[in-house]
Structure 1
Amino acid sequence: MAPRCLFRGSISCPFPALTLPIHSDPPLHLMVLATDKPLNFLCMVSLLFLDKAPFFLAMPHSLRDFSSPTRDRTRATAVKAGILTTRPPGNSLIKHFLIYSVLPDFCMLSSRVRLVATTARLVHSQIYSSSRSFMDLKALLCSLNDFASLSFAESWDNVGLLVEPSPPHTVNTLFLTNDLTEEVMEEALQKKADLILSYHPPIFRPMKRITWKTWKERLVIRALENRVGIYSPHTAYDAAPQGVNSWLAKGLGVCTSRPIHPSKAPDYPTEGTHRVEFSVTHTQDLDKVVSSLKEIAGVSVTSFSARADDEEQTRLSLNCTQQALMQVVAFLSQNRQFYQKTEILSLEKPLLLYTGMGRLCTLDESVSLETMIERIKSHLKLSHVRLALGIGKTLESPVKVVALCAGSGSSVLQGTDADLYLTGEMSHHDVLDAASQGISVILCEHSNTERGFLSDLRDMLHAHLENKINIILSETDRDPLHVI
């Protein structure tokens, strides 16, 4: 039997509430009760219908966060009060709330709170559906990894999903920022973000506690309280062919570029780190040798026929892990004939031509250093940059080859032969080293060489995700350093 009861009375709500007009025909209203408290609050809240227009109430659905007795008791109260305790199908305007509607067929009997018979029904997604739909968080993460694999990130980095609300979690709004500060977090919450993509990981070093003491701990607390996920790609986007460094290179002019430190293919068809090859003559016990080698964990064996010194032989090829290599060598050393003819090869994953750290860019036509500075300032929308002239160089010196690295580029650029280094920041002594080699250095501050990429990222993700979700840029995110 469909629920038919709802509390009605004067406006006296003990919890924060928000009333939103919905532009539709007929006009609708939506009230959101901002509380997750495990209280029997349905008996405490009075609702005021607005101008006899259809009125919708949304309440938090995270009853699973409470203990079982409290959850069951709250659910029972909700059923008695006429709350539909199943989530609406499809895509509703309010994603994380239980929603029901009430038609205004009531009469005011007194100012005291009392039950009034009403007609209740589930709010369908057609009422609120927009041009965007939702994506399940796990499905979105898979799509993001398809866009730029996290396997390209540096081993020291902390990338991927850093904060996850309790599942299931749907994402309607993806919020992009370079740095997730408390000010940016407030903006993300105001804009109803479901997932924050923060280029820099706000969690980098291990946290021993989550308290209100430090700003990064507070970020985690606020994200979890508001059911907002946090994802960081960082150096995976640095390495990606369509990533941050490729975007930075666009400001140089027409050029060809390649990674300074190419990435290696994350997947390789062979197993192991080493290949061991040797031959066995037909007069020897081939089956016994193969059987013994296969007993070593981390070893795969293949064989093929070969002919050497006018003698038919079987060539054995073993792929083995670093740990298994010493056991294989120990076994082969027991037979001098095997051991003296053994070859050991170190296996390397193939390099990727367009993926990796930094970019070495060769301009189609040389330009003066002064012209290059203006191009960079225009691309990054900066009024000032810092410049260290290489020994013997002037503003009129030609620039043909530029080595660049978004963010902090010392370790990536070091030892690279170029006319100019472009990065966000370098140590004092690394700048001196470059200048002593006749290489000029332009520093733009760390995040100024990264933040502009987010506009391109938004457009690329819209296409990659087929416009399934809203993607917005932070308006408060900025580099902490300013020239005054």
Structure 2
Amino acid sequence: MTVNDIAARLEELAPLDFAEDFDNVGLLVGDPGMEVNGILITLDTLEAVVEEAIEKGCNLIVSFHPIVFKGLKKITGGTYVERVVARAIENRVAIYSIHTALDNVMRGVNGRICDEIGLSDRRILIPRKGLLRKLTTYVPESGRQALLEALFAAGAGEVGNYSSCSFSNTGEGTFLPGEEANPTLGARGQLQREPESQLHLTFTADREKRILRALWENHPYEEVAYEVTSLENSYQQVGMGMVGTLQEALGEKDFLELLKVRFGTPCIRHSELMGNTIRRVAVLGGSGAFAIGAAKAAGADAFVTSDIKYHEFYQAAGELLLADVGHYETEQFTKNLLYDYLTEKIPNFAISLSGTRTNPINYY
């Protein structure tokens, strides 16, 4: 299998179109056509991780965090980022990052946090905008059903838990084939009036190429009239953070003890205890203070995240419990998530979990 083949499997789980605009995801180092001998999965691509990949015979590193986040102007070994990139290139080791693409899917980072805490009835905390598109096209009545089925098969017309969703209007289409045309209906030089259906189907941005390919390959007309428009609607299945419900309500201290056990951390920074019970919980792996307002709006009793600053703790304002369990701690399950997914997708392939500790924070 090539690097591109592995990337395609990963992007079935977390399409790169779902990543945040500020992010740098996908293949960062290496040849997309290179044959893969082994995969090493890590949270961060450090120098020790590249050495581990070389020792294990793995020439593809799948990393959660991107080693190249901002543009590199030189590679002289002056920083750990430059040394990682140089060492990887020198040893033909490719590096692929999935980062916020995996953050933003239901089965991703935050879904795994929900698994660890035991949350049910989950939904996205901040649904993503700008991901939805609408296809409008026109097809003769005789070809309507076949075209719809092809578009559905390509992934168009999925709305939440529903599939094969579309809307159609009927009307009359007109066209005048030119001298070099090869019309399916009508004749050159003669105005054709044809009963047609106007079809409307929504889809996510990551599916646009294959949906348009299905349109062109299955539409009966020589020239296909269509429009693709961007929608402002939020997409409820993709976005930052999640919110769910504990099976049984817990007191604040019992909830914090649960977090210490599940996240394997000796201490948790938290806002003032108010004597409330915790049932509805919002989570966001990594730096999530920006979502405190969204957690409140979702009716959360507690918000589990990391990297909360001093003044941001005041935003709890007696309305919910803020629990900062640590950046690494919230994302530590990601390696296993990716390992489980890839071993299911490509069994009998050399896939390893990195044994290198990449958490830069220590506790005394």
TM-score, scaled to structure 1: 0.53
| Deviation sequence 1:22-64 (CA, Å, 0-9, x none) | xxxxxxxxxxxxxxxxxxxxxxxxxxxxxxxxxxxxxxxxxxx
| Deviation sequence 1:345-400 (CA, Å, 0-9, x none) | x962554433221011222431111222222222222232222225xx04xx3001
The match for 1:170 is 35
Distance 1:199 1:347, change over 3 A: closer
The match for 1:372 is 255
The match for 1:192 is 57
**Would you say how many aligned residue pairs link Structure 1 and Structure 2?**
279
Question: How far, CA to CA, are the matches of 2:248 and 2:41 in structure 1?
Answer: 35
Report the RMSD for the aligned CA atoms in angstroms. 2.9
- Aligned ranges for residues 176-325 of structure 1 at < 5 Å? 176-264=41-129, 266=131, 268-270=133-135
Match of 1:385 among 260, 268, 278: 268
Question: How far, CA to CA, are the matches of 2:349 and 2:247 in structure 1?
Answer: 39
- Aligned ranges for residues 54-73 of structure 1 at < 5 Å? none
The match for 1:354 is 237
Identity of aligned residues (%): 32
Question: How far, CA to CA, are the matches of 1:388 and 1:223 in structure 2?
Answer: 43
| Deviation sequence 1:240-278 (CA, Å, 0-9, x none) | 11110011112322422111112358462327xxxxxxx
Distance 1:470 1:265, change over 3 A: farther
Question: How far, CA to CA, are the matches of 2:21 and 2:268 in structure 1?
Answer: 31
- What's the secondary structure of 1:455's corresponding residue? helix
- Aligned ranges for residues 394-433 of structure 1 at < 5 Å? 394=275, 397-417=276-296, 418-433=300-315
- What's the secondary structure of 1:365's corresponding residue? strand
| Deviation sequence 1:422-470 (CA, Å, 0-9, x none) | 1121122111212x243221112212110123113211211122x1521
Q: In the alignment, is the contact (CA less than 8 A) between 2:129 and 2:232 conserved in 1? A: yes
- What's the secondary structure of 2:114's corresponding residue? helix
Distance 1:253 1:371, change over 3 A: farther
| Deviation sequence 1:162-208 (CA, Å, 0-9, x none) | 0013x641112111111112222222222222111110101001111
Higher relative contact order (CA 8 A, sep 6+): 2
- What's the secondary structure of 1:447's corresponding residue? helix
- What's the secondary structure of 1:469's corresponding residue? coil
Structure 2's unaligned 5+ residue stretches are: 137-173, 175-193, 201-228
Question: How far, CA to CA, are the matches of 1:175 and 1:267 in structure 2?
Answer: 34
Q: In the alignment, is the contact (CA less than 8 A) between 1:262 and 1:353 conserved in 2? A: yes
Distance 1:176 1:214, change over 3 A: same
CA radius of gyration, larger in: 1
The match for 1:444 is 325
Structure 1's unaligned 5+ residue stretches are: 1-134, 272-286, 288-303, 306-316, 318-345
Aligned AA (2:357): D
Aligned AA (1:445): G
TM-score, scaled to structure 2: 0.70
The match for 2:212 is none
Q: In the alignment, is the contact (CA less than 8 A) between 1:251 and 1:375 conserved in 2? A: no
The match for 1:138 is 4
The match for 2:356 is 476
| Deviation sequence 1:287-331 (CA, Å, 0-9, x none) | 9xxxxxxxxxxxxxxxx99xxxxxxxxxxx9xxxxxxxxxxxxxx
Distance 1:148 1:347, change over 3 A: closer
- What's the secondary structure of 1:262's corresponding residue? strand
Distance 1:415 1:352, change over 3 A: closer
Question: How far, CA to CA, are the matches of 1:348 and 1:269 in structure 2?
Answer: 7
Aligned AA (1:419): D
Match of 1:153 among 8, 19, 25: 19
The answer to which structure has the higher helix fraction is 2
Q: In the alignment, is the contact (CA less than 8 A) between 1:386 and 1:443 conserved in 2? A: yes
Q: In the alignment, is the contact (CA less than 8 A) between 1:358 and 1:413 conserved in 2? A: no
- What's the secondary structure of 1:171's corresponding residue? coil
| Worse-superposed segment, 218-227 or 136-145 | 136-145
- What's the secondary structure of 2:328's corresponding residue? helix
Aligned AA (2:312): D
